[in-house]
Chains A and B, each alone.
Chain A
Amino acid sequence: MIRSVYCWHMARTFSRRHGAPYVIIDGCIECGICERVCPYDAIFMSDDLEYVVEGDKCPGCHRCLDPCPVDVIIPMSDPRAIKIRDSNKPYVLENWQEIIAAQKGGAKV
């Protein structure tokens, strides 16, 4: 519990520095609704033909979460963030590996 709260704070702290608290995880059906509803143009299709959340543009407004029909846009603080898609990794946090490792219950951040 303490660790998860600690990691949550870490994720929030770093995401504030970078801008993006959200990522897209496995299960995305590429429907494109998130791209359409994002007011800040922070979601787009990458060269891998997968949707990604761009860290520098996303202010964490939450707008994309409800419209997503398969609930695969999640905060970095969510334990399911371990299922982050490879395409999203370059756009999120510099130290996402450490945060996710800590969420798995392994490494100390």
Chain B
Amino acid sequence: MKRFITTDDLARDDRFERTPVPLDFLMAEEVTVEQVEETMKMLLGNKEMIDAMAESQAAGGANLFKRVAPTDAEAPMFIKTQMHGIFMGEMQALEAAGRSCWDFTDDDQLPWKFQLDMARQCWDETRHVETYSALLQHVDAEIGQFPENLFLFEFGCSADPAERVVGVNRCLEGLALDVFEDTIRFGKKAEDEVIWRSVDYVAADEVTHVRFGQVWSKALTENDPERRQKVVNFQRKVDRAFSLGGLRGSYDGANVEGFLPIAAEFRKLAGFTDADIAEVAGAGPKIKK
């Protein structure tokens, strides 16, 4: 079996369509609000949703920087987009964990427990794909309805296992926790028990995956300060990219209604300290006025 496969080689049938995400703005030191808005639209990749939000924004309602409420007109489209995005994220997380299991099999320095943890993650992710497949039906959406972007997977390709778990576990799965928290809040506001209970159930697994990232990235670099620094630099890069333009705050912070706040409590369960959370919250680029 091939190692270090590229995104072109990921298995998808003809239901799936890919959308490019240039995202160069999000890796920059400074961005304009217009650049972030443009990139958010690319990430959404859903014209119906973008049009609905533009209409709502013109009427003074929800916009890309203020979360959609269940009572908003675009809520049905929003939850379909959200569920589809999570479904694709779970697919990519499964593929990334599977690769982490396989790509380092001849690394003598890597403890067997690393592979066991990655294998456990694979098993969890397959369940999550099934769960979100059912949730897509629940919100009346279908697989392949919206384009897929491979933004998450691209940051989980490193040939260094310590960087791999930073990209996949700490950052990708960490972002998933934030999205889940957001979806649970939406489900509770909408009084949709199927949504919030299912997502909460999946989030419990994600906490362990993020913890794998926290634990292994430190354990694998414990006696190698140079490698540790390289991993930290990589982590800052991914945190910046995943900061979605620096618009994120924490649920216990000021930006509660902002674009995708950081799920501080979930992250603490996964081993994040307050300093770690502050670092993620402050990882984004500066917004130029």
Q: Which residues of A contact B (CB under 8 A)?
A: 12, 16, 19, 21, 33, 36-37, 39-40, 59-63, 65-67, 75
The distance in angstroms between the C-alpha atoms of A99 and B159, with both chains bound, is: 24
Cβ of B253 within 8 Å of any chain A Cβ, yes or no, is no
What residues on A are CB-neighbors of B163 within 8 Å? 40
Q: Chain B binding site: helix, strand, loop or mixed by DSSP?
A: loop
Asked whether, in the complex, the Cβ of B27 is within 8 Å of the Cβ of A62, the reply is no
User: Of A19, A39, A59, A61, which contacts B237 at CB under 8 A?
Assistant: A39
Q: Which residues of B contact A (CB under 8 A)?
A: 2-8, 20-24, 27-28, 150, 153-155, 157-159, 163, 167, 234, 237-238, 241
Min CB gap B154→A, angstroms: 4
Asked whether, in the complex, the Cβ of B22 is within 8 Å of the Cβ of A39, the reply is no
Given contacts A39-B234, A39-B237, contact A61 B22 (CB under 8 A): no
Asked whether, in the complex, the Cβ of B3 is within 8 Å of the Cβ of A16, the reply is yes
Min CB gap B273→A, angstroms: 24
Q: Chain A binding site: helix, strand, loop or mixed by DSSP?
A: loop
The distance in angstroms between the C-alpha atoms of A61 and B167, with both chains bound, is: 12
Asked whether, in the complex, the Cβ of A67 is within 8 Å of the Cβ of B159, the reply is no
- Interchain Cβ contacts under 8 Å between A and B, 25 examples: A16-B4, A19-B159, A36-B27, A36-B28, A37-B24, A39-B155, A39-B157, A39-B234, A40-B157, A40-B158, A40-B163, A40-B234, A60-B6, A61-B7, A61-B153, A61-B154, A61-B155, A62-B8, A62-B154, A65-B20, A66-B21, A66-B22, A67-B22, A67-B23, A75-B6
Asked whether, in the complex, the Cβ of A67 is within 8 Å of the Cβ of B24, the reply is yes
What residues on A are CB-neighbors of B27 within 8 Å? 36-37
What residues on A are CB-neighbors of B5 within 8 Å? 60
The distance in angstroms between the C-alpha atoms of A16 and B2, with both chains bound, is: 8
Asked whether, in the complex, the Cβ of B4 is within 8 Å of the Cβ of A59, the reply is yes
What residues on A are CB-neighbors of B154 within 8 Å? 39, 61-63
Asked whether, in the complex, the Cβ of B6 is within 8 Å of the Cβ of A62, the reply is yes
Asked whether, in the complex, the Cβ of B24 is within 8 Å of the Cβ of A33, the reply is yes
Closest to B20 in A: A66
User: Which 8 pairs show the lowest CB-CB distances between chains A and B?
Assistant: A61-B157, A66-B20, A59-B157, A60-B6, A67-B24, A62-B7, A63-B154, A61-B154
Asked whether, in the complex, the Cβ of B24 is within 8 Å of the Cβ of A36, the reply is yes
Asked whether, in the complex, the Cβ of A37 is within 8 Å of the Cβ of B7, the reply is no
The distance in angstroms between the C-alpha atoms of A80 and B107, with both chains bound, is: 35
The distance in angstroms between the C-alpha atoms of A21 and B21, with both chains bound, is: 20
The distance in angstroms between the C-alpha atoms of A59 and B28, with both chains bound, is: 22
Inter-chain pairs besides A37-B24, A63-B155, 9 sampled, C-beta below 8 Å: A12-B2, A16-B3, A19-B4, A19-B159, A61-B157, A62-B7, A65-B20, A66-B22, A66-B23
Closest to A36 in B: B27
